[in-house]
Amino acid sequence: MSKWHILGAGSLGSLWAARLAQAGLQVQLILRTPARVDAYVQAGGLTLVDQGQARLYPIPAQPTTHDEPIRRLLVACKAYDAVSAVTQVAHRLVEGAEIILLQNGLGSQEQVARSVPHTHCIFASSTEGAFRKADFEVVYAGKGHTWFGDAQGNAAPNWLDELSKAGISHDWTDNILSRLWRKLAINCAINPLTVLYDCRNGGLLDHTDEVASLCQELAILLHRSGHPEAAADLYSDVVKVIQGTANNYSSMYQDVSQSRRTEIAYLLGYACQKIDDLQLQLPHLQAVHLRLLTLLKERGLPSH
Ligand code: NAD
Ligand code: KPL
């Protein structure tokens, strides 16, 4: 049984680490620097708050500079940090090591796969919800599901059984890119508008014409990008997500309101780059992208 090395002890990384450790699996956290490891040791481990109950998990942690070889790596950084984080441990990855990429959106997965060609990358698309309450303390906010797949068409790995043992709801798909595109499209139809209208997801029910125009253009983009199945019933699904999460603030809204860097380059930015590459004219998407970039600039936040 390979050890689970987890790169990044933020929201999702901690959620995964705690559940795998609880199932008796070998877990090793990898933190940015020796100073972060010292702070982690001071905290006594990771705390996961699930249904109001806090539990401490004293999972071992090591810095990226450690020399232990890595056979299985779960990358739990933001999309914009994924390549640089993986590069920091590239020398530790054995030939054929498995890398599981939890990043939202598209673009970072290909960047990572290109940067470590001696490994085998598996992409994931997750609807789990977790947020950081404090350093090394994470709240499990909403149970979701994670899809895994191999864009190169390789068969499902045998560690999926370990996820079942850890109670991590999942499935394998032969078309992970289509799943990632579908989630990207849903995020592109909701997240930027919540920032621009300064509202919860439910506030978009007052702007359904604009949501519908974005969905129409996203469906064209999905078809032209080779993922027509990801376009099916997009608008009705987006409205269901808006209604089902009406009281929530989108992840992009939360990032902007807390002056944190967003993952825009891997969501709407990725979609607009694809529109340019395909020489399409999808004016609503392009206009929302520009409005969002302007807003980020005004707030002093990066556009990438
Ligand atoms: P997060 O910011 O809570 O955690 C990222 C962690 O990575 C941080 O602790 C950061 O310090 C660490 N990190 C960055 N660079 C590093 C490096 N070089 N070495 C070691 N650690 C490093 O982010 P998150 O919310 O867990 O999101 C991770 C990814 O999962 C994102 O792409 C996000 O969109 C996606 N996602 C998150 C959720 C969620 O509910 N949080 C749900 C679905 C998908
Ligand atoms: O995934 C989301 C996000 O906020 O990033 C949605 C589905 C829009 C829910 O808020």
Reported as a single tens digit per residue, the pLDDT across 153-208 is 999 999 999 999 999 999 999 999 999 999 999 999 999 999 999 999 999 999 99
91-123: pLDDT as tens digits: 999 999 999 999 999 999 999 999 999 999 999
Q: What is the mean pLDDT of residues 61-83?
A: 98
Q: Which ligand is nearest to the CA of 9?
A: 1
Residue 190, ligand 2, Cβ within 6 A: yes
Tokens of 110: 């290909």
DSSP codes joined into one string, 146-180: EEEE-TT-PPPPTTHHHHHHTT--EEE-S-HHHHH
194 Cα nearest atom in ligand 2: 8
Residue-level pLDDT at 206: 98
Tokens 């079942």 locate to 164
Q: Which is nearest to 151 in space by CA: 120, 128, 126, 116?
A: 120
Q: Tell how far the Cα of 167 is from the centroid of ligand 1, in angstroms.
A: 21
The structure tokens listed for 43 are 């905290």
Ligand nearest to the CA of 29: 1
The confidence score (pLDDT) of residue 7 equals 98
Using the predicted structure, report yes or no on whether residue 54 has a pLDDT greater than 90: yes
| CA-based nearest residue to 72, from 37, 107, 120, 117 | 120
Q: Please state the pTM of the whole predicted model.
A: 0.97
**Mean pLDDT score of the chain:** 97
Q: How do beta strands 129-134 and 137-142 pair? A: antiparallel
| Strand partners for 111 | none
Length of the chain: 304
Query: DSSP 3-state helix, strand, coil percentages of the chain (rounded to 5)?
Result: 50, 20, 30
Enumerate the H helices of 176-279 as residue ranges: 176-196, 208-224, 234-244, 251-257, 268-277
Q: Whose CA is nearest to atom 9 of ligand 2?
A: 250
pLDDT digits (tens, 9 = 90+) for 259-276: 999 999 999 999 999 999
Q: Which atom of ligand 1 is nearest to the CA of 82?
A: 15
State pLDDT tens for residues 209-240.
999 999 999 999 999 999 999 999 999 999 99
